[in-house]
Amino acid sequence: MKHSNNAYKAFLKTAGATFLLLGTLMASPFSASAQALGNPDLTQAGYYRMKVGDFEVTALSDGTVPQNFHQLLTNAKPGEVDSLLKQNYQTDPVELSVNAYLIKNGDKLILVDAGTAGAYGPTLGHLTESLARSGYKPEQIDAVLITHIHIDHTGGLMDGARMAFPNATIYISKTELDFWLSPESKANAPESLKTYYAQAEATVGPYLKAGKVKAFGNGKELFPGITPIATPGHTPGHTSFMLESGRQKLVFWGDIMHAAAVQFVDPSVTIVYDVDPQAAAIQRKKAFIDAAKNGYWVAGDHLSYPGIGHIRANGSSYIWIPANYSTYSSGK
């Protein structure tokens, strides 16, 4: 990966400040809270299926984790978070879903993101269980499309020391791959980012060494009907994936948003996990406008499970319309 040295250093200075806070918070609300507040005996629904044209899409639950939005959300107006959570009958911390999605076209199985594995305690790491309930084994997966290299999306690539999806090719945008796994990026990264580089090496690194990673640009089909869309901001190479078949369309958002009760009403509210918060807010607004205007399905990794639905414009804010569960096959 080649960088403009001054621009790259400036970016790392900004990113370093963001990730210094992120490192502190992820060590607490996203891990310790899961173990303190979560109940491993509460099972998740497992999976829901739907058709998108000729494709079968299965929403897979990796579990849920409590998130303290008072600590995590940024650029919010005074009192805004409390007010919007109250309107949605929620209190802090909010139980946040971690979802992944399986696309089936004929005999090809394509997974979008891979969950957390054991990274954040017993309430998460249930992706392979959900996959099994839906009738599939990890070794049957042909490809894994990664929206971005954060461990709640790549942790499940590994099962201990072995690759969890041994027959799969991992697809990651070149920008994302270069940022987190190039020697130059790692060498120039501030100390606050080192943990995240280590996580990238631990989860994606084994596939990279095995020659099982394919870097892609955006705008061209990876598979028939599946096209990556660059949505940088949350991370430099964050990618959404567009699925089209017949006259139907679904866009897998990845981490376009985290706090539905707040960010659908005010898309300018950001979260400390964003590498570039301003760019993330821009991408969120663009995604909302396009989805509301064109009426296609969207799927979010942190929208309440199964995370699939439509959005509708409501002035300057947006309304989330979850999918009709009666159209799904339950995995209970």
Pairing of β 239-245 and β 248-254: antiparallel
CA distance 68 to 259: 10
Within 10 angstroms of residue 185's Cβ, the number of other Cβ atoms is 20
CA distance 69 to 94: 7
SS (H, E, C) 215-239: EECCCCCCECCEEEEECCCCCCCCE
Q: What is 98-166 written as a DSSP string? A: EEEEEEEETTEEEEE----TTTT-TTS--HHHHHHHTT--GGG--EEE-S---HHHHGGGEETTEESST
Single-letter code of the amino acid located at 34: A
**Domains located in the chain, CATH noted:** 5-38+46-327 (3.60.15.10)
Single-letter code of the amino acid located at 315: G
CA distance 214 to 203: 15
pLDDT at position 26 is 36
Determine the distance from the C-alpha atom of residue 193 to the mean position of all C-alpha atoms in its chain, rounded to a whole number.
19
Structural contact between residues 130 and 98, judged by C-beta atoms closer than 8 angstroms: no
Structural contact between residues 178 and 1, judged by C-beta atoms closer than 8 angstroms: yes
User: Tokens 């017949």 belong to which residue?
Assistant: 246
Length of the chain: 332
CA distance 233 to 277: 6
Three-class DSSP category at 92: coil
CA distance 136 to 74: 39
In a structure prediction context, what are the per-residue pLDDT tens digits for the chain, which is 332 residues long?
333 334 334 434 434 433 333 333 333 324 333 333 344 444 555 678 999 999 999 999 999 999 999 999 999 999 999 999 999 999 999 999 999 999 999 899 999 999 999 888 889 999 999 999 999 999 999 999 999 999 999 999 999 999 999 999 999 999 999 999 999 988 888 777 788 899 999 999 999 999 999 999 988 999 999 999 999 999 999 999 999 999 999 999 999 999 999 999 999 999 999 999 999 999 999 999 999 999 999 999 999 999 999 999 999 899 999 987 544 433 33
